Structure 1
Amino acid sequence: MKFAITVGRFYEDLATRLIAGAQSAFAEAGVGEADVFDVPGAFELPLAASYLAATGRYAGVACLGAVIRGETDHYDYVCAETARGIMDVQLRTGVPCAFGVLTVENMDQALARTGGGKRDQGAHAAEAVVTLARMKRSLA
């Protein structure tokens, strides 16, 4: 099974940390390193996931990124539509797509969720798509 990561690069340092967590989890699961595809930000993740799922090359897609609350309602729209879009892709295609997008109040919270360990969102996203891809394969 081959997996993909699509990552919003708006917060470059966080993106790098999320990818590292995901790649570590993919390696630990014994599926090798995932292919990485960059997009500008979280809002573009659903379309990228759709492109990747449509290729038929990937058993799952870990969608990674970060949205940090600001002073306007922009945060609410980006978070909600990104989550909805990623869910829509996996339900429409049957290819597992994990929502590995940090939706946090500040940079400290983001760093706490990308530093490895129990709260590593990149690793959790990879673990989720591997689990669902294996379930799908076992049911085929």
Structure 2
Amino acid sequence: MASSLKNLSEYVKNKDIDISNKRFAIVVSDYYTDITESLFNGVVETLLKEGAKEENIFKEYAPGTYELTLASQYMAQLDEVDAVICLGCVIQGETKHFDFICHAVAQGLTNVSLKYDKPVIFGVLTPNTMQQALDRAGGKHGNKGVEAAMAAVKMLGFNQ
């Protein structure tokens, strides 16, 4: 659903999912850090609110959004990680670079999730402008990090 129609920070709380013993790896792109750090804050606040323990939330950095795929694989292969949340931002430019990066990351994260049978969440903004990114990283459309955290929580509860 378009974020202009739904606030990214709004969600229905799932009371039946216990994440108190679940471990989350959050992989954050170093590119557009003002955006990705805001997304990270949204993830952590939401996970803690939903019952995760602070000591069960791990943060790792990837140089850019493209590198989230391999970084997520490094995290997903660890037995002590139950879910991986990937945070990045790719802003449309004048070349096809945007299309190649977005497609590769979406496909790569899907492949990692299926390979390791764990939730690997696509918390990547793909806006046309920096303002649209800001609007979705805690601005007028909420915070995509909140949505990414809840996707991880709900996927962990999927087979409970």
Kindly indicate which of the two structures has a greater share of residues assigned to helix: 1
Distance, in Å, in 2 between the alignment partners of 1:62 and 1:113 is: 17
Say if 2:38 is the partner of 1:30. Answer: no
Structure 2 gaps, min length 5 = 1-21
Query: What TM-score do you get using the length of structure 2 for normalisation?
Result: 0.82
Distance, in Å, in 2 between the alignment partners of 1:129 and 1:118 is: 20
Say if 2:52 is the partner of 1:20. Answer: no
2:115 to 84, 87, 92: 92
How many pairs align?
137
Contact 1:68/1:105, CA 8 A, preserved across alignment? yes
Say if 2:133 is the partner of 1:110. Answer: yes
Distance, in Å, in 2 between the alignment partners of 1:118 and 1:71 is: 25
Query: What TM-score do you get using the length of structure 1 for normalisation?
Result: 0.93
One-letter code aligned to 2:72: A
Structure 1 counterpart SS, 2:60: strand
Contact 1:21/1:116, CA 8 A, preserved across alignment? no
Say if 2:157 is the partner of 1:134. Answer: yes
Distance, in Å, in 2 between the alignment partners of 1:128 and 1:85 is: 18
Identical aligned residues as a percent: 38
Contact 2:135/2:141, CA 8 A, preserved across alignment? no
Alpha-carbon spacing, 1:96–1:116, altered in 2? closer, same or farther (3 Å):
farther
State the 1:32 CA deviation.
2.3
The residue number in structure 2 matching 1:11 is 32
Say if 2:102 is the partner of 1:74. Answer: no
